[in-house]
Structure 1
Amino acid sequence: MTWELRDIVYNPVWMISTVILGLVVRSQRRGSWDPRACKVELKGKTAIVTGANTGIGKFIALDFARRGARVILACRSEARGNAAVREVRQLSGNADVHLRLVDVSSLESVREFATNILREEKEVHILVNNAGASGLPRGITADGLEVSFATNHVGPFLLTSLLLDRLKSSAPARIINVSSVNHWRGKVDFSHFHGNNLVYRMDEVYNHTKLHNVLWTNELARRLKGTDVTANSLHPGVVMTEVMRHYNWVVQFIFKLVGFFFFKTSEEGAVSTIYCAVAEETEGISGKYFDSDCSLVKPSPTARDPAIALKSFEFCERLTSKL
């Protein structure tokens, strides 16, 4: 910890002021939609949640399980995934909760996962593309993709494409893509997908991937018109999750200190996704973007451009067909 940071952290006036303000903010940050008040049941429905072993994903899976759904936790870690399955089963009283392994940064793993799902599940009614990471170090995957783009966008894009016919045959069905308000600071440059022309500063690469999430969702929704399958994207809020685990310890310290008072918990951060997935109010709504308070809002001007959305979608189609 630098002297300046230590001086601020240990300054009693700063600390007391932060605590008081933080407590006030915490008391006022409840959203307008409460999943506990929503009586929609999911008995007979199958839901898949990626990145469900921790954070937002686990609470999304827990909510679906409490509603009686058959829930597939799509996770990379077998140990952590099994622990999450046990916890969700125990808290929900629903034994129909299962782990299926997938690493969304690997297209081979995504294809294997999808093949198994199509063999095992006759119907899929809800697909939540929640898995993602911020601050990943520079890297190229075995598929030749920049690791953040592979994890946050190309993997989910391919997974959805492979499961799309099953979702259509199971309709009504919903696809929910967890994006971020950070997409406003993203840019579209297709060389980014292979790790070119990127600046690895804080969450800059993450921002680009989240913009592609919204563009993809909008074009997907356009293509799904008339199928009774909807696709929406959302911002879950600034949430205390493990998404920041790849940053250095100083950034994590500040994030956790400030976040304890001002950021949403993982349970609170799951609300907007649950709203898009189960609420009666969102039935039939497609190609939209929701904020962390479950309100329909306009995404960035770039994200609303149908021509760019088409280019992004077609680029990923060609990319995944070659790899």
Structure 2
Amino acid sequence: MSAPGFHATTDEVSAGVDLSARQVVITGASSGLGVETARALANCGAAVLMVARDAQKLDAAVAQVSQSVPGASIDTAIIDLADLDSVRSGAADILSKCPTIDLLINNAGVMACPLQRTAQGFEMQFGTNHLGHFLLTGLLAPALIAGAPSRVINLSSAGHRFAPVDMEDPNYHNRHYEKWQSYGQSKTANALFSVGLDQRLQGRGVRAFAVHPGMIMTELSRHMVPEDFAQIARGRKPEELPFKTVEQGSATSVWAATALELEGLGGLYLEDCHVAEPATPDGDGGVEAYAVDPVLADQLWQTSEDLVGEKFDF
């Protein structure tokens, strides 16, 4: 399977892929990229467990996927990633339904929200985008190991270029909160988590990847105002920005989950259905060195274990 690039859609990258008897778990599956990713993988024959925090929206998403893929095997779990108690109970529910997991796609996220706190007092973007997924993935690790060779796909973003992770104050207790800096930190954390997870589980057949889906207008953009688009545009007109459709935005997640050319690889940052090059100051794409640094990945891992109160024995 070749890497089709920016304009590729989910159906194009998954053409000919057979996921029969494979179990997929997708967070943030009640809207946008999560629904399309679930549809595409269900269309390949996978059993899909869709995860979200809003039961009503999740039911509507399940109906949407079921209508598009008649006979699809779909289950659900309710998890609020901004509440670690919900993550723990939801993970137990998933494990009871899925003793083996072949693909875990950590797709859920929040972007550029005002300063808010999670149930445990973490800054909302870092707490939801990273810590909730960190704990969930760790708790689901036994099923991923049982399903090996398996993959974990963590949705990062080109927004990681806004900021590295502040290991001393990731939750903005002692520094001024800036929503885009916070978003960037959380997306850098998603990339570093992919590196750290891959380091720890590759010997047991579990590989991890970070994905930049591209710019897509979904519910993730609900907190954005015109000034935010101006910041992202960097001097360009809004219509000149390289937006993708939902089908194009989900393609790299589906490619990361299924591409044969990624076998034996891991800890990589992917964009436009290929492995990203190093970032350059004048380019939109690429990955910053601090987002794939194994030393920083280890530091973040230790910090994350301390914050969620869970040590993982792998």
Instruction: Please give the range of the TM-score, normalised by the shorter of the 2 chains.
Output: 0.7 to 0.9
**Contact 1:104–1:156 (CA under 8 A) maintained in structure 2:** yes
**Contact 2:10–2:254 (CA under 8 A) maintained in structure 1:** no
Counterparts of 2:144 and 2:255, CA distance in 1? 19
Give the root-mean-square deviation of aligned CA atoms.
2.6
Structure 2 counterpart of 1:160, one-letter code:
T
Match for residue 286 of structure 1 among 258, 262, 266: 266
Do structure 1's residue 269 and structure 2's residue 249 form an aligned pair? yes
Counterparts of 2:124 and 2:292, CA distance in 1? 26
Tell me what 2:102 maps to.
125
Tell me what 2:222 maps to.
245
Local SS of the residue matching 1:319: helix
- Tell me how far 1:120 sits from its aligned partner: 1.6
Do structure 1's residue 258 and structure 2's residue 238 form an aligned pair? yes
Counterparts of 2:6 and 2:263, CA distance in 1? 26
**Contact 1:177–1:213 (CA under 8 A) maintained in structure 2:** yes
Do structure 1's residue 165 and structure 2's residue 142 form an aligned pair? yes
- Tell me how far 1:101 sits from its aligned partner: 0.8
| 1:72–1:198 distance in 2 versus 1, CA, 3 Å | farther
| 1:189–1:261 distance in 2 versus 1, CA, 3 Å | closer
Do structure 1's residue 301 and structure 2's residue 278 form an aligned pair? no
Counterparts of 1:234 and 1:274, CA distance in 2? 10
Counterparts of 1:192 and 1:129, CA distance in 2? 24
Local SS of the residue matching 1:47: strand
Structure 1 counterpart of 2:302, one-letter code:
E
1:175-194 map, 5 Å: 175-194=152-171
**Contact 1:146–1:192 (CA under 8 A) maintained in structure 2:** no
Residue identity over aligned pairs, in percent, reads: 33
Tell me what 2:182 maps to.
205
Deviations 1:208-242 (A, max 9, x none): 11111111111111111221111010111111211
* Unpaired runs of at least 5, structure 2: 279-286
Tell me what 1:16 maps to.
none
Match for residue 108 of structure 1 among 85, 95, 111: 85
Local SS of the residue matching 1:232: strand
Do structure 1's residue 314 and structure 2's residue 294 form an aligned pair? no
Counterparts of 1:206 and 1:278, CA distance in 2? 28
Counterparts of 2:300 and 2:61, CA distance in 1? 34
- Tell me how far 1:309 sits from its aligned partner: 1.1
Counterparts of 2:242 and 2:174, CA distance in 1? 34
Counterparts of 2:221 and 2:240, CA distance in 1? 14
Tell me what 1:3 maps to.
none
**Contact 1:291–1:297 (CA under 8 A) maintained in structure 2:** no
**Contact 1:241–1:265 (CA under 8 A) maintained in structure 2:** no
- Tell me how far 1:48 sits from its aligned partner: 0.6
Matched residues, number: 296
Deviations 1:154-179 (A, max 9, x none): 00000000001110011111100010
Do structure 1's residue 58 and structure 2's residue 46 form an aligned pair? no
| 1:122–1:211 distance in 2 versus 1, CA, 3 Å | same
Local SS of the residue matching 1:100: strand
Structure 2 counterpart of 1:276, one-letter code:
A
| 1:248–1:37 distance in 2 versus 1, CA, 3 Å | closer
Tell me what 1:4 maps to.
none
Tell me what 2:20 maps to.
43
Local SS of the residue matching 1:177: strand
1:215-226 map, 5 Å: 215-226=192-203
- Tell me how far 1:259 sits from its aligned partner: 6.0
**Contact 2:125–2:183 (CA under 8 A) maintained in structure 1:** yes
- Tell me how far 1:296 sits from its aligned partner: 3.8
Counterparts of 1:76 and 1:169, CA distance in 2? 26
TM-score normalised to the size of structure 1? 0.84
Tell me what 1:229 maps to.
206
**Contact 2:13–2:255 (CA under 8 A) maintained in structure 1:** no
Farther off after superposition, 259-268 or 57-66: 259-268
Local SS of the residue matching 2:25: strand
Based on CA coordinates, which of the two structures has the bigger radius of gyration?
A: 1
